Amino acid sequence: MAAATGSRPHRSSPASLWIRGQMYNAFFGFDAEPFRVNPDPRFLYFSESHREALATLVYALHQRKGFIVLTGEVGTGKTTLLNALLQKLDPGVQGAYLFNTKLSLEDFFSYLFDELEIEPVEPFRKSAVLHRLNHYLIERLRKGQQTLLVIDEAQNLSDELLEEIRMLSNLETPQSKLLQIMLVGQPELDEKLAQPNLRQLRQRIELRHTISPLSLRETMEYVRERLLIAGHDNGEIFTTSALRTVYRYAAGIPRVVNVLCDNALLSAYVRKSLRVSARMIDETAKDLDLLREEVLPEQPAATPSARDGWIRRLWSGRRAQDELGA
């Protein structure tokens, strides 16, 4: 094992960092960069909270819930979870995914119609737009099909647009909602929905779920698993104390874990060290202006409710089906 020698690396240009990243791949024996922030299906890691969230959303679709809300801190993997959900949709479920939420009413319907492949109404008239959308959704329902609207970064929606989205939930038959709506966002979304003027929307929410950060154990698993997927022979580059230190800085947020570990590997490469120590994590976090959290205790598992048990059985069954069909 190489000794940890040399000085701490200084901040570099993006081009320089890319070159060094390629070089540390060779140094550690990686086939790919293990901690790139960009989503990569190869590195998909589902914590207990992610599995519970995915099973909850599948349950909501199965039960044809009208309004669903999913929240989580920045970097907890909401978009990754949505991608996994959209890939799991049955052929009879059409999903419309909107991520640009700072829209006018006309732009919103334009995006929605484009996602659902509905012929646009020209010129824009709200009554005509709603009539065409209602006709489209009824035709899908007659064929036994579902339609799902997923709105990411929903905390940025204006109150006016949220009210218009609420009105879409009025599109229904006596037996079923024509359009299922999923609002996804940061914790600020819960604060927005708590406003008195959005009371009617809040009352229509049938299911909520919050993605929790990774636990200490999951953070350790997450780092080691990504190292193995990247091609490392045993995934043991970070010492146990280094992983604990990563957890205290990142507070279980996967995106922060990625940034911190990526920069720590670069630091280890510059020093020609095949191991990352807790001290290297401290130094890297200081360079990144990260604040070390107080010791974060492991949270006790909540007592499962009847619905939670149903969800777990549903998830286990679907996972088994996926594995059998793989």
The answer on 192 and 58 residing in a single domain is: yes
- pLDDT confidence of residue 306: 38
User: For residue 317, what pLDDT is reported?
Assistant: 43
Same domain, 173 and 222: no
pLDDT digits (tens, 9 = 90+) for 162-175: 999 999 998 988 88
Same structural domain, 171 and 246: no
For residue range 172-206, list pLDDT tens digits in order. Answer: 888 889 999 999 999 999 999 999 999 999 999 99
Task: Look up the CATH number of the domain holding residue 250.
Answer: 1.10.8
pLDDT of residue 20: 60
pLDDT in the model for residue 325: 36
Supply the pLDDT for residue 293.
57
CA distances from 2 to 30, 223, 243, 275 (A): 17, 21, 20, 8
Instruction: Return d(Cα 326, Cα 322) in angstroms, integer.
Output: 6
pTM across the whole model: 0.80
The C-alpha atoms of residue 43 and residue 26 are separated, in whole angstroms, by: 19
pLDDT at 13: 52
Last residue of a domain, one of 196, 211, 226: 211
Do residues 111 and 175 share a domain?
A: yes
299 lies in a domain? no
Q: How far apart are CA 303 and CA 296, in angstroms?
A: 21
Token readout for 107 is 């732009």
pLDDT of residue 292: 66
Sign of CA dihedral 325, 144, 202, 102: positive
Predicted pLDDT of residue 53:
93
Per-10-residue mean pLDDT of the chain, 326 residues long, equals 43 55 85 87 90 92 92 92 85 90 93 95 94 96 94 95 93 89 96 95 94 97 97 95 97 96 94 96 94 51 41 42 36
**What pLDDT, on the 0 to 100 scale, is given for residue 38?**
80
Task: For residues 146 and 221, state if they share a domain.
Answer: no
- Residue among 112, 108, 44 nearest 79 (CA): 44
Of 116, 23, 87, nearest in space to 322 by CA: 87
Q: What is the pLDDT at residue 14?
A: 55
Q: What is the pLDDT of residue 101?
A: 86
What number of residues does the chain have? 326
Structural domain containing residue 268:
14-45+214-287
Tokens 């992983």 correspond to what residue? Answer: 243
